[in-house]
């Protein structure tokens, strides 16, 4: 993921720096990326894009002290796993202006509770943990869409529906014995 992000960032003329304790410096340089320490990355980067997996060593890798080292104009993006960022520290950093904004595809708790402050912040963009959704990464989703379309085109209810109350208003036939309140496949 990090290499793909770096390649795209370079295409926009951005200078890419990176910190990764598990990748040799030569690999980064090979891809036109300047390897730096974590403190240097935090101090220099305008956009920080986090892609760490959920491992014990990456748990809450980015904490309040890290947000304090970032530029006040920094944008923090997290697409790896939610537990890699201390969410309370991120909320504090956004509230107190330690950083400017955040783009998050992952949260510590998914789905987030209704009381999660990130849901109401104007300087946060959230996606529903779908950053990797593409034909290359998700053949099961493509199959599922095909199955759903096949059902609808053959005059039957789909297996799942975001708004199941609309199904009763169609000519589609119920093929599963379920309550309308729960949806056809709940």
Domain residue extents for the chain: 37-126, 135-186
Q: Which residue has the tokens 């969410």?
A: 87
CA-CA distance, 60 to 83, in Å (whole number)? 6
81 is catalytic: yes
Structure tokens at 169: 């208003």
129 is catalytic: yes
pLDDT at 75: 97
- Provide the CATH topology of domain 37-126: Rossmann fold (3.40.50)
Please determine, for residue 123, whether its predicted confidence score (pLDDT) is greater than 80. Answer: yes
Question: What average pLDDT does the chain have?
Answer: 85
Please determine, for residue 179, whether its predicted confidence score (pLDDT) is greater than 70. Answer: no
pTM: 0.70
- H helices, E strands: number in the chain: 6, 6
182 is catalytic: no
Q: Which residue has the tokens 């034909």?
A: 135
Q: What spatial distance separates the first Cα and last Cα of the chain, rounded to whole Å?
A: 33
CA-CA distance, 95 to 89, in Å (whole number)? 10
Q: Which one of 96, 110, 142, 143 is the catalytic residue?
A: 110
Q: Which one of 44, 60, 63, 129 is the catalytic residue?
A: 129
């Amino acid at each position: 993921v990090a290499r793909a992000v770096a390649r795209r960032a370079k295409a926009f003329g951005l200078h890419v720096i990176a910190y990764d304790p598990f990748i040799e410096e030569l690999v980064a340089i090979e891809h036109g990326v300047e390897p730096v320490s974590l403190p240097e990355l935090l101090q220099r980067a305008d956009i920080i894009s986090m892609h760490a997996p959920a491992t014990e060593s990456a748990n809450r890798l980015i904490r309040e002290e890290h947000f304090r080292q970032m530029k006040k104009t920094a944008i923090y993006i997290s697409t790896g796993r939610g537990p890699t960022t201390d969410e309370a520290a991120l909320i504090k950093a956004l509230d107190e202006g330690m950083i400017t904004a955040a783009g998050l595809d992952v949260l510590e708790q998914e789905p987030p509770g209704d009381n999660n402050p990130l849901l109401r912040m104007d300087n946060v963009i959230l996606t529903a943990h779908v950053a990797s959704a593409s034909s290359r990464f998700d053949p099961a989703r493509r199959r599922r869409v095909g199955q759903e379309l096949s059902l609808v085109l053959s005059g039957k209810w789909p297996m799942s529906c975001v708004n199941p109350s609309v199904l009763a208003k169609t000519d589609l036939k119920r093929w599963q014995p379920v309550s309308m309140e729960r949806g056809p496949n709940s």
